[in-house]
Structure 1
């Protein structure tokens, strides 16, 4: 059955009184109830050959409904005039400073307004095709709400060269993370493998080294600064720390999962973090200011601060470093005075 093939339903005596959208969703595995409701409200349903747009309708025996889904949208990304902060560009690659909130490539729920759409406008049809039509030129990714330095390939030769550098761990990648508490020891290496969570396929989780589904993940961390030491529950501990993380591997959510696993989740992380900040209580201007900023900081406090590599075509040593954006740096400044 195609995605646009009409589906007809006749109300039997046993179905009388049921709600329309739930009933149709129970009749087919093709669509969720939410999708059925949206299709009905969008005019995709007819009752006895006439348009019908009430998803809450209580069924009556003998009614005949026909659902005609609209044709699927063309998934091919289109160029969009989205501003980019370009740090370097030549005929082979482009390096940008990605803002927080920008999705890297189109996917369900984000078919437009992505970095790929911006790159297609900026670069035209010169991007590498190795990543496919959805991910042209994309060699590595940053999460939607992670800011910082990214490199994109503009041709297949550069794409293959960059991919080889990433695979051989010949890329210098450093991130700044504002995390809860203070790691002890203050520097080290996390080597726990990562895999998809069995309970939520959108999340990653740490697994044992003997688990076959686990993928190698190596994160080096070092505390750069600590804040709110006098306010922490334990002597010498801190409320929060600025940590530099250097990656050997680049698994999905790697830093976020690794830091959470050792007990120091990133502030603001809606998936792997905690609500609020243990130990930071209101009652003085500095604490109130920091708490207010943290409540409004609706993303993980993570910034790709540094990217260094040898140009895959010319061999030139390239190195880029970008300070965190205003929201990140403002949050850090608020914690410094605690």
Structure 2
């Protein structure tokens, strides 16, 4: 059994664990404990903080804190006992990877549509993680957890495009900090190509609507007043007048689950092929000619592609920038709209 030691706040932790300490300032008073800690510890998501609370790994004032909604007081000192990185348990599988860039610190992948990022309910294997374990061996960062080694950010199963994965823990923490900062003080850039129904009245705009789990359907995301900040910048690249559709460039200022899909639907311009957030616009397909309807059927997914990714290299600080052209299925849809 690992030797135990005492954290600064009196929490007993294993010697192999590390303890993160955070003290609340006057501006933090009244904030939820989980939101406060996630903001001050950018390597950990809010969900991860909540999980650590449930495990009894968070303390303040010498007592264990298990309630994520507990309010913070100025001067409160928190200790978070972080367990050592878990080994990657999923097995490696020989799944082809489109590697855009790779060194000893990270790997950038151009993910195809249909590939799940990490094992989860209903997807025990055949994921990007399985492919990465086969490709990288034991070098992947364990900070992401047993099922998510190296994963810094995600793309939906049916969203294609660029994704960066960390190969060791230091790279994982540095990249996670950039994503948590949303590029506000660094070079992080995440831009997507999106085909939407309708013709936007303006050439560009910003959607600033908080997002959270839908109360009606927990598998969906919805605009909620108590949701997390979510900001999407969009710009029209092409207008397909006869088809009643448009090609947009959507840049994320924040990166929430289904952010672009929900924000565009809220604008009245849901993504082509989005059966979750664009179901009410299925009749729009009647405006397409035969070639357009065939291309939409072949697409069979939301028309969303992570086309641009930029960030600072976690070891050298060099600004890296990558671009990915529209994949074949999305380009076929664009061509069909253009020809109508």
TM-score > 0.5, shorter chain as reference? yes
- 1:316-327 to structure 2, matched below 5 A, reads 316-327=318-329
Task: Output the CA distance in 2 between the equivalents of 1:271 and 1:280.
Answer: 19
Q: Which residue of 1 aligns with 2:201?
A: 184
Number of residue pairs matched?
Answer: 248
Which of 287, 293, 296 is the aligned partner of 1:294? 296
Q: CA deviation at 1:277?
A: 4.5
Instruction: Please say if residues 87 and 95 of structure 1, whose CA atoms lie closer than 8 Å, have aligned partners that are also in contact.
Output: yes
TM-score by length of 2: 0.71
Deviation digits for residues 68-100 of structure 1 (CA, Å, limit 9, x no counterpart): xxxxxxx93110000101011111100010000
Gaps of 5+ in 1: 1-74, 232-237
Which of 93, 108, 111 is the aligned partner of 2:124? 111
Which of 282, 286, 301 is the aligned partner of 1:276? 282
Task: Output the CA distance in 2 between the equivalents of 1:197 and 1:109.
Answer: 21
Instruction: Please say if residues 77 and 116 of structure 1, whose CA atoms lie closer than 8 Å, have aligned partners that are also in contact.
Output: yes
Deviation digits for residues 217-245 of structure 1 (CA, Å, limit 9, x no counterpart): 01000000010x2x4xxxxxx60000000
Q: CA deviation at 1:295?
A: 2.4
Task: Output the CA distance in 2 between the equivalents of 1:337 and 1:88.
Answer: 35
- When residues 190 and 117 of structure 1 are mapped into structure 2, their CA distance, relative to the original with a 3 A threshold, is same
Instruction: Please say if residues 236 and 248 of structure 2, whose CA atoms lie closer than 8 Å, have aligned partners that are also in contact.
Output: yes
Instruction: Please say if residues 285 and 293 of structure 2, whose CA atoms lie closer than 8 Å, have aligned partners that are also in contact.
Output: no
Task: Output the CA distance in 1 between the equivalents of 2:320 and 2:245.
Answer: 33
Task: Output the CA distance in 2 between the equivalents of 1:301 and 1:315.
Answer: 33
Task: Output the CA distance in 1 between the equivalents of 2:283 and 2:165.
Answer: 36
| 1:173 matches 2:190 | yes
TM-score by length of 1: 0.71
- 1:183-332 to structure 2, matched below 5 A, reads 183-208=200-225, 211=226, 214-227=227-240, 229=241, 231=242, 239-274=244-279, 276-278=282-284, 280-281=286-287, 287-332=289-334
SS state at 1:148 partner: strand
Gaps of 5+ in 2: 1-87
- 1:55-66 to structure 2, matched below 5 A, reads none
Q: CA deviation at 1:336?
A: 0.4
- When residues 270 and 207 of structure 1 are mapped into structure 2, their CA distance, relative to the original with a 3 A threshold, is same
Q: CA deviation at 1:192?
A: 0.2
SS state at 1:177 partner: strand
- 1:93-108 to structure 2, matched below 5 A, reads 93-108=106-121
Q: CA deviation at 1:201?
A: 0.9
Q: CA deviation at 1:312?
A: 1.0
Query: What CA RMSD, in Å, does the superposition of the two structures yield over aligned residues?
Result: 1.4
Task: Output the CA distance in 2 between the equivalents of 1:182 and 1:137.
Answer: 39
Q: CA deviation at 1:328?
A: 0.2
Q: Which has the larger radius of gyration?
A: 1
Q: Which residue of 1 aligns with 2:135?
A: 122
Task: Output the CA distance in 1 between the equivalents of 2:324 and 2:267.
Answer: 27
SS state at 1:152 partner: strand
Deviation digits for residues 267-286 of structure 1 (CA, Å, limit 9, x no counterpart): 0011101353527446xxxx
- When residues 159 and 279 of structure 1 are mapped into structure 2, their CA distance, relative to the original with a 3 A threshold, is closer
Q: CA deviation at 1:324?
A: 1.2
Instruction: Please say if residues 80 and 120 of structure 1, whose CA atoms lie closer than 8 Å, have aligned partners that are also in contact.
Output: yes
Task: Output the CA distance in 1 between the equivalents of 2:326 and 2:218.
Answer: 30
SS state at 1:143 partner: coil
SS state at 1:106 partner: coil
Q: Which residue of 1 aligns with 2:105?
A: 92
Instruction: Please say if residues 147 and 304 of structure 1, whose CA atoms lie closer than 8 Å, have aligned partners that are also in contact.
Output: yes
Instruction: Please say if residues 239 and 279 of structure 1, whose CA atoms lie closer than 8 Å, have aligned partners that are also in contact.
Output: no
